[in-house]
Amino acid sequence: MPTKSLAGVNIEVTEEGYMINSSDWSEDIAKEIAKEEGIELTDEHFKVLEFIRNKVANGETLTIRGINKSGVVDAKTFYKMFPGAPLKKATKIAGVAKPESCI
Amino acid sequence: MKKLLILGAGTAGTMMANKMRKHLARDEWEITIVDQFKTHYYQPGFLFIPFGIYTKSDVIKPKSDFFPVGVNVIYSKIDKIQPENNNVLLEDGKVLKYDFMIIATGCKTAPEEVDGLKGNLWYKEIFDFYTVEGATALADHFKTWKGGELVVNVSELPYKCPVAPLEFVFYADAFFTERGMRDKVNITYVTPMPGAFTKPRATKMLGELLEEKNINLIPDFAIMEVNNEEKKIIDYGGTEVKFDCLVSIPPNMGDEVIERSGMGDDMNFVPTDKHTLQSGKYENIFVIGDAANLPTSKAGSVAHFAADILEENLMCAIEGRPYTASFDGHANCYIETGYGKGTLIDFNYDTEPLPGSFPFPGLGPFDLLKVSRMNHYGKVLFRWIYWHILLKGKELPIDSEMQMAGKKL
């Protein structure tokens, strides 16, 4: 697996840049990944990231609907905060695996 | 008398009633199955109704035709499950006790979950084909439709029979071509997935088929609302797609009884161990079919393969032995591609659909990830197999565990 230096730490990532070990994550790392995605993180962003990390840690599936119903952020704002592909970007910055749409 | 209770008499519940009645002595075990409806629907047949190939009578039979002798059948709504007390309350207040329970309450479409979907145009210019009502209404609509923008939209994952919407657009292409009006119908497939399907090889193969058939693909579309006045669907990112006829695959949710009982996730699916099929929380409760939150397709084939596993593991649990069977998420889907041809995919939790032959390595007769006439016959024959073999819990010459033999990496 490739590694990447983020916030002064060597982190294992996938080919697409998703962190392998979610426990390596820190707020500084999040800020660096976000910068690469062209996003400046605010407190609001961190609330969403925390929600995503908790969901994933509980083994739950992430969906736009789930985010919309979370009470943390509505889907429209979520799209504005992580423009383009919000779930893909937000999970990358949250240091969790890319959401697999298994059907 | 000990009691095995089965909630839901669809594909999974009916198969389990048949399987378990053979194992459990009738003087020791009482088996009861509960369902609110008396009609069994052959759901794979719904796809054919809008195109006039099947009618309603081709896809329905009484549920009672498929229950084995020696099973109590109760037709009633279920009010609540009380897993802490091993109780199930029925609508009329009756209480059912159980030693072991199988939850097979399935899932269903929830069009009210998308704003505007069930608006003025519902069953006028907006349809689903996952209910017999929607499929027959669409059949009537197509009979006189003059053409225009035909938009097929998958609301969100997971949904039943993941390939059905693709089969629908393939059939639509053939249907309107045969009627000599394909040039008047623009077909667009709008999906929340990043491509035609999820896994790389199937996505490539099915994506090429869409292109070949001149069907537009709009991926990564998370629907926010349907605008009935301007006849368009809008996603959260602001993308808009105009339609003259919208065929929607609404969100799929588990039964409300799961929500009332506080046993589900936010889509009312029951957390379930993906290998043992035991409920995540209760030792004497097992979950099978669409009701479970397993990370595999919501499909009859999955319920069928899982039934073999559950049959074995439930006997282990009843006899106090460690589990001997492990479910691998095996799914097997015939995909109709129109003009009397079809393709086939076979996959599980870990292995994506691969090309090759099925079920006999090198021989077939079916071809994986390839369009052939034989694959179409497989689908046509399947209805007979479903009614006469599968629901009765009899053996089919297909392993419940996915096989790598015959597949090309």
Question: What are the domain boundaries of chain A?
Answer: 3-93
Predicted pLDDT at A2? 81
> Over 80: is that where the pLDDT of A100 sits?
no
Q: What is the mean pLDDT of residues B218-241?
A: 94
Predicted pLDDT at B76? 98
pLDDT band at A103 (very low <50, low <70, confident <90, very high): low
- Lowest mean per-residue pLDDT among B118-122, B224-228, B259-263, B363-367: B363-367
**B395 inside domain:** no
> Over 70: is that where the pLDDT of B85 sits?
yes
Q: What is the CATH number of the domain that holds B49?
A: 3.50.50.60
Same domain, residue pair B57 and B95? yes
Tell which of B289, B318, B347 closes a domain: B318
Same domain, residue pair B119 and B211? yes
Predicted pLDDT at A84? 78
Rg (Cα) of chain B, in Å, rounded? 21
Angle among Cα B22, B24, B30 to the nearest 5 degrees reads 110
Q: Which chain A residues have any C-beta within 8 angstroms of a chain B C-beta?
A: 60-61, 63-66, 69, 75-76, 78-79, 84-86, 100-103
The verdict on whether A45 is a catalytic residue reads no
Count of the separate structural domains present in chain B: 3
How many A-B residue pairs are in contact by the CB < 8 A criterion?
A: 51
Same domain, residue pair B135 and B236? yes
Predicted pLDDT at B91? 96
Convert the pLDDT of each residue in B343-387 to its tens digit: 999 999 999 999 999 999 988 899 999 999 999 999 989 999 999
- Lowest mean per-residue pLDDT among B14-18, B253-257, B401-405: B401-405
CA distance B301 to chain A (A): 13
Convert the pLDDT of each residue in B238-280 to its tens digit: 899 999 999 999 999 999 999 999 999 889 999 999 999 999 8
Same domain, residue pair B96 and B205? no
Same domain, residue pair B67 and B101? yes
Say yes or no: B159 contacts chain A, CB-CB below 8 A: yes
CA distance to B116, B271, B299, B308, B374, per residue, from B119 (Å): 5, 33, 29, 42, 42
Distance from C-alpha of B12 to C-alpha of B104, rounded to nearest angstrom: 6
Phi and psi for A65 in degrees, rounded to 5? -60, -45
Same domain, residue pair B193 and B302? no
Task: State the residue range of the domain holding B341.
Answer: 331-390
Predicted pLDDT at A60? 76
**B223 inside domain:** yes
3-class DSSP state of A9: strand
Say yes or no: B162 contacts chain A, CB-CB below 8 A: yes
**B68 inside domain:** yes
**B132 inside domain:** yes
Same domain, residue pair B7 and B96? yes
Same domain, residue pair B126 and B103? no
pLDDT band at B210 (very low <50, low <70, confident <90, very high): very high
**B338 inside domain:** yes
Predicted pLDDT at B173? 98
Same domain, residue pair B294 and B261? yes
pLDDT band at B284 (very low <50, low <70, confident <90, very high): very high
Angle among Cα B380, B381, B384 to the nearest 5 degrees reads 115
Say yes or no: B198 contacts chain A, CB-CB below 8 A: yes
Tell which of B296, B318, B340 closes a domain: B318
- Cα atoms in the 13 Å half-sphere on the side-chain side of B91: 9
Predicted pLDDT at B340? 94
Tell which of B225, B250, B275 closes a domain: B250
pLDDT band at B41 (very low <50, low <70, confident <90, very high): very high
Angle among Cα B331, B334, B335 to the nearest 5 degrees reads 120
Same domain, residue pair B282 and B228? no
Distance from C-alpha of B119 to C-alpha of B136, rounded to nearest angstrom: 19
Percent of chain B with pLDDT over 90: 90
The answer to whether the Cβ–Cβ distance between A78 and B236 falls below 8 Å is yes
This prediction has a pTM of: 0.92
Same domain, residue pair B300 and B342? no
**B265 inside domain:** yes
Same domain, residue pair B147 and B84? no
pLDDT band at A1 (very low <50, low <70, confident <90, very high): low
CA distance A8 to chain B (A): 33
**B401 inside domain:** no
The answer to whether the Cβ–Cβ distance between A60 and B265 falls below 8 Å is yes
Q: Tell me, what's the ipTM?
A: 0.75
> Over 80: is that where the pLDDT of B389 sits?
yes
Say yes or no: B251 contacts chain A, CB-CB below 8 A: yes
